[in-house]
Structure 1
């Protein structure tokens, strides 16, 4: 689901160790890529590591470990 509402928090702005569920995506092109990687609305996300200086992040999505670019993480909204 792609929405433009401001509810929730961007994955890229979450701290290490924080958890939440995917609410929606803000970019349709990026949403297709994320859906094919197994990141679906309702998926539980945990931030494992973050790259220094605002780079990408390493997440656990259900039982998958995935490294995301910052642009990918910015398009995921977490509740």
Structure 2
């Protein structure tokens, strides 16, 4: 049986997450609108790549694209293990 576990995987994250996480939903509607306009949608696979220089944010792979997100934006993403 395949079970999904919901977590806020990016809250206070320091290391990479495994690539088998998918986006469940967002906790902030304003941030959700911005992320969805960039193609970051619920159901997309997400993986942290590395921290941006000077602590400004994180490089994240969402499906096949790589984007940079602020920590506040990343904290609004709730993921599930797939």
The TM tier, using the shorter chain, reads 0.7 to 0.9
Counting matched residue pairs gives: 73
Unpaired runs of at least 5, structure 1: 1-6
In the aligned structure 1, how far is the partner of 2:25 from the partner of 2:14? 15
* Residues 55 and 37 of structure 1: CA distance in aligned 2, closer, same or farther (over 3 Å): same
Q: Which has the larger helix fraction? A: 1
For the aligned residue pairs, the C-alpha RMSD in angstroms reads 2.0
Normalization by structure 1: what TM-score? 0.78
Instruction: Show structure 1 runs of 4+ deviating over 3 A.
Output: 51-55
Normalization by structure 2: what TM-score? 0.76
Pair member with larger Rg: 2
